[in-house]
Amino acid sequence: MTLYRTRAGLRHRIRDVLNFYYPDCLDTAVGGYVAQLDERDGRVYDARTKHLVATARGVHNFSLGVLADGPHWCEHAAEHGLRFLSTVHWDDGRRGYDWLLEGRTPTDRTRYCYGHAFVLLAASRALQAGIPGARAELDRAFGVLEERFWEPDRELYADRASPDWELTSYRGQNANMHACEAMLAAYEATDESRFLERAYTVADRFTRDVTAATDGLLWEHYTDEWEPDLSYNEDSPRHRFRPPGYQPGHHAEWAKLLALLAVHRPESWVLERARGLFETAVDLGWDDEYGGLYYTVEDDGEPVVPDKFGWVHAEAIGASGLLSLVDADADGRSTGYLEWYDRLWEYAGEHLINPRYGNWYERLARDHGRDGPNRGPAVEPGYHPLTNCWLVARALEADGREGLGARADDD
C-alpha cells in the first residue's frame, strides 16, 4: 500500500503543509495572517496585505489541523485568525466582509459571494474544532449569503456586489460551488437540515439543470439569466481567476462535492453525476505527453491554457480517493479510481510538491518549467491539499479502514 493510501500518510502530508506556514504566517503585530510566503523558500514577500479568502482559508486550515490531531499550536492559530476575520474583515456598517485590507485598513470592499462562502466554510470547520466564536461567525456569514446573494427564483447565488450591495449582472460557477461546499460543512458542524437542503439545491440546480445548455460540461461564466456567456474573457485566456474555457479542476472538485453530498443524500443521480464529472475531468484534461491535468480546455479537450496548477491535482486526488471508497467491491478493494488516485499522487510528488518543505507549488508550465515565483495577494495557503487529504483520511476512518484498497484488518 503506497504512503498516501493510508491515514497515517495523509496526516503526515497535512502536517507538512501546516508546518510550512506556521509560525511565519501569524501576524502578531496587526492580527490575522501573513499569507504571502514564497512557495520556494517560505520567505515573506508581502507582510501587509490581508485577503479575505486567504484569511478564511487560514482559519479553515488550522481548524483541520485540530481535527486531524495535528500540532498543538493549530488551535491557537485558528482562534487567532478567526478573531481577525470576525472583527477587522467585517464591515459592521454595511454588514459584509471586506475583500482586501492593507494592514487593518480596507482597500477593496467589493462583496464577493466566493469570499463570504469561505467565511462560512472557515467558521464551520472552526466550530467542529471547538474554536471559540465559531458558531456566531457561522450564523453571521450564512445570514449575509442568504440575505444578499441568494436568488430564490434561480435557486442559485449571485456573484458580486458593490460595497453598498448593488449586485452586478455576472453570475458564476465558482461562487456556487464553494457555497455548496460551505453549506455541506455547516451541516456537518451543526446537524441542521437547512444547510444540507441548500447544498443539495445548489448542486442539483447547477450540475444538472444549468449544465444542460453545455452538454453537461461545467461552463464558468453566466449572465444574470443564467445563460452561458461563452464569450466571457475570450480575449484573456490566461486570466488568473476567470479564464474562458472548461476547467478540468472544477469538474473534479464538483465530483468530490457530490461524493460528499451522497453520504447525506444517497440518491442515485448524485453519485452518477459525480462519476461522470470525474471521468470528464481526466478524459478532457489529462496531458498524455507530459502528464498532469491542463488548466483550461475546449469542449473536445484541446488545451487553452496547458499549465499545470497544484490545486487542480489536489482536487482530483480528493475526488478519486472518495470515489474509490464508494465504488470499492465487497472485499474493500477499489476500482479504477484508485489507479487515478495513485497516478495523481505520483505526479504531484514528482512535480508539484516542494521537496524541501512539503508545500505545493501554485503553477507550472505544461512541461513543468517555472517562469518565476507565483506571487500576489490572492494566494492559496495550502487549502486544497489540506482539504483533500483530510477528507480522504476522514472517509477512511468512517469506513473503518487504515488505507485505500483494503479493509483495516487486511493491513
Cite the active site residues: 250, 384
Q: Are strands 308-309 and 171-172 parallel, antiparallel or unpaired?
A: unpaired
> Using CA atoms, how far apart are residues 186 and 179, in angstroms rounded to an integer?
10
> Which candidate, 358, 359, 363, places its Cα nearest to that of 374?
363
Residue 360 DSSP class = B
The C-alpha cell at 81 is: 485568525
Would you state the torsion angle of the CA atoms of residues 103, 109, 113, 119, taken in this order, to the nearest 10 degrees? 30
> Using CA atoms, how far apart are residues 269 and 277, in angstroms rounded to an integer?
12
> Which candidate, 101, 99, 104, 102, places its Cα nearest to that of 119?
99
φ, ψ for residue 36 (rounded to 5)? -90, 80
For the chain, report the end-to-end CA distance as a whole number of angstroms. 8
